[in-house]
Amino acid sequence: MEKIVRKANPSDLDKIYSLIEFYANQGVILKREKQEIEKGIDNFFVAEVDGEFAGAVTFYDYGPSLKEVRSLAVCEKYHGCRVGTMLLKNLVETLKSQGESRIFTLTYKPKFFEKNGFVVVPKEIFPEKIWKDCQNCPDKDSCGETALIYKDH
């Protein structure tokens, strides 16, 4: 089983959108409009297993000191194959190579991120995120997401 992670390109748009839509409909990740994904395609990475699309992840750049891991999703067929871990590690390494910045995420699956070097923190330490996304979220007053930040070891 050959697994690779690569930068996304425009031909990945429909697969990324469908994957995010699948999990957004289950309430596991936040919905993303196709135009939003297309506009940010340069920040996406995709995983392939034996040449087949297997998952995706992206980040939001709040500037030189803060980056957010977003829309990490793996096709059900590849659950348990460490595709999510590959995507996350590749993204973290890429962001770390670009300079010193805090890397965080908000997730309904904190255990996965804890296994991959993240620690739970209060959401309030990310006012940039709160002002960008949380103010307009229908769940803002009853958010079930956990905030985590990457800790270098």
The predicted pLDDT at position 57 comes to: 98
The string of pLDDT tens digits covering residues 101-148 is 899 999 989 999 999 999 999 888 876 655 555 555 656 555 778 889
Residues with Cβ within 8 Å of 123's Cβ and at least 6 positions away in sequence, in order, are: 106, 129, 130, 134, 143, 145, 147
**Does the pLDDT at position 152 exceed 80?**
no
Q: Which residue, among 115, 131, 124, has the nearest Cα to 147 in the 3D structure?
A: 124
**Does the pLDDT at position 77 exceed 80?**
yes
Percent share of the chain, pLDDT over 90: 71
Residues with Cβ within 8 Å of 1's Cβ and at least 6 positions away in sequence, in order, are: 49, 50, 81
**Does the pLDDT at position 153 exceed 70?**
no
Can you list the domains of the chain with their CATH numbers? 3-150 (3.40.630.30)
Percent share of the chain, pLDDT over 70: 88
The string of pLDDT tens digits covering residues 11-34 is 999 999 999 999 999 988 888 999
The predicted pLDDT at position 126 comes to: 78
Exposed/middle/buried for residue 19 (C-beta within 10 Å: 0-12, 13-18, 19+): buried
**Nearest-angstrom CA–CA distance, 61 and 39:** 13
Bridge-based pairing of strands 146-150 and 118-121 is: antiparallel
Average pLDDT, the chain: 90
